Amino acid sequence: MTMLKHRYMVAAKYGHFDMVEVLIKSSAKPQHEELESGRGAAKRMLRMTNNEGDTALHEAVRYEHLDVVKILTIEDPHFSYSSNKRGQTPLYIAAATAAKLYYTADDAKNSLEIVVKILETCTSPAYEGPDQMTALHAAAIGCSPDITRKILEKKKNLIKERDRYGWTPLHFAAYYYNSISMELLLDCDVSAAYIGDKHRMMTPLHIAIGRGYVPDKLISRCPECCELVDERRWNVLHFAMLRLTYKDLKCLLKNYPLIRTLINDKDVDGNTPLHFLAIFRPSLLWRIARKNKDVKLDVDVVNNQNLSVIRMTMKSCSGQLKQEILKLEEPAGPYQGGIVEVMKESDEEVQKELEKAKESHLIVAALIATVTFTAAFTLPGGVIQDEGTAILSKKAAFQAFVITDAIAMVLSLSAVLAHFLMSIPLGRSTESTGFLLVYGVKVRCSISMGSRWCLNQTK
C-alpha cells in the first residue's frame, strides 16, 4: 500500500490524470467478489494523506491540475477534505492561489474553475484556512470577485467569520482596496461593516481610511458606521487626518455631513482629529478652516495634557503623541503595512507637485501625438499619385524621418496611456514609479520628434 500511496500522490501532484484514474479504478476492483470491499478500498486511497496531512486533492489543487481535481471530487463527493497540518483545506488553497496570482499579474482562471468544481461537486466542502481564516478571506485578499461571488452563493454566513485577529473578509477587502469584493460582501450582509477587530476594534471603514482612500460605497451603504470608534476612541476623522490627501479630505468633509460633525470629538487622551492634523500637517489646518466654511473647527479645544490644537503645531508640545502615532506604521498582526501610513507635510507637497506635473506632461504628450500623427499623413515632398508612394521614399533621410516620426507617435501615445493607468489608486510608491516612467518616455519621445525635424530639414 505504501508504494501505491506514493505513486498516487506523485501522480496527483504532477497532474498525471491517466495515472490517477488507473490507480483509482484498480483499487476499486472488488476483492473476493465483494463490491463494498472495492468501494471501501477506493475511498481509503482517495482520503489517505501524506506526512504533511495533504490528500491527493490538496496536491492537485495546489499545483492547479483541474482534470485531476475533477476526477477526485467526482469519485468522492461526500468527503469534506479537512485541513492539512498547516490548517489549509483544498478550497482555501484554491482561493489563496488565485490571490497570489492576482498580485503577480498571472492568470487565475484555473484557480477559479477549481473553486467552482469543488463547490459544485462536493456536498459539504470544508472552507477553513490557517489562523482561523476561511476561503472567503483568501478571496477578499486577492481581489477575486468571481471566487468571492461563488463562495457567497454557497455559504453566506462566512462573511461574518473572524480570523484569529478578529478580521472578517470585509476587513481584508478594505485593507487591500478590493472595491468589487467589498461591494459583493456588502450586498450579501451590510452588518459586517460594523464588526471591529480584536486588535484595536477597528472597523473596515477605519482600515480603508487608514490605508489612504475613501470607500464611498461602504459609507453610502452603511452611514452609521461613520460614528463608530476604535478602542482608543479614534473616529474615522482621526484616521483621515493622518493619511488622506487634502483633496480626499476636502471631499470627505464636503460630501458627508455626518462625518463633519466628528471633527471636534475627542479620543481617550482628549485629542481631536485636529490635534493629529496640527502635528503632521499644520498648513492643512488653516487651509481647511479657510476653504471649508461648513466645517466648524474648534482650534482652542485642549486635550488631557491641556494642549490646544494651536499649541500642537509646536514641535516641543507634540513629541510624545507624534512618536506614539508613528509606531502605528510598523507591521503588527494582520497589519503587514502598518495600521496607518502617516502622510507628512513633505509628502503632501510632493503629491501636489506630482499632480501639477502630470497635467503639464499630459498636455505635452497629447500635442506630440497630434503633431506626429498629422506628419504621418502629410509626408514632405508629396506622393506619386498613380502609385500612392512617397516621392522621397528611396532617400535615406526620408526613411529615417518616417521611423523617428513613428517612434515619437508611439511613445507619446504610450505616455498618454500611462497617465490613464496612473489614475488607478495603487499607492504612492507605484504612482511615483509611474511618474518617472512617463517622464522617461516623454524625454525619448521629444528626442525622436527633434530628430524627425532635423531630418526633415536635410531632405
What is the tens place of the pLDDT at every residue in 168-212? Answer: 999 999 999 899 999 999 999 999 999 999 989 999 999 999 999
Residue 349 has pLDDT above 60, yes or no: no
pLDDT per residue as tens digits for the range 405-419: 778 777 777 776 666
Residue 389 is given by DSSP the state E
Question: What number is the average pLDDT over the span 150-167?
Answer: 96
Q: Is 308 helix (H, G, I), strand (E, B) or coil?
A: strand
H or E stretch at 384: strand 383-384
**Using an 8 Å Cβ cutoff, are 204 and 173 in contact?**
yes
Question: What number is the average pLDDT over the span 368-383?
Answer: 68
pLDDT of residue 432: 45
| Mean pLDDT of the residues in the chain | 83
Q: CB neighbours of 18 closer than 8 A, spacing ≥ 6?
A: none
445 compared with 197, residue with greater pLDDT: 197
CB atoms near residue 458 (< 10 Å): 11
- Domains in the chain and their CATH numbers? 2-329 (1.25.40.20), 345-458 (no CATH)
The single residue listed with the C-alpha cell 498516487 is: 8
7 compared with 429, residue with greater pLDDT: 7
Q: Is 335 helix (H, G, I), strand (E, B) or coil?
A: strand
Label residue 378 by pLDDT band (50, 70, 90).
Answer: low
Residue length of the chain: 459
Residue 222 has pLDDT above 90, yes or no: yes
Residue 261 has pLDDT above 70, yes or no: yes
pLDDT of residue 232: 95
CB atoms near residue 369 (< 10 Å): 20
Label residue 32 by pLDDT band (50, 70, 90).
Answer: very low
Rounded Cα distance, 438 and 351, in Å: 16
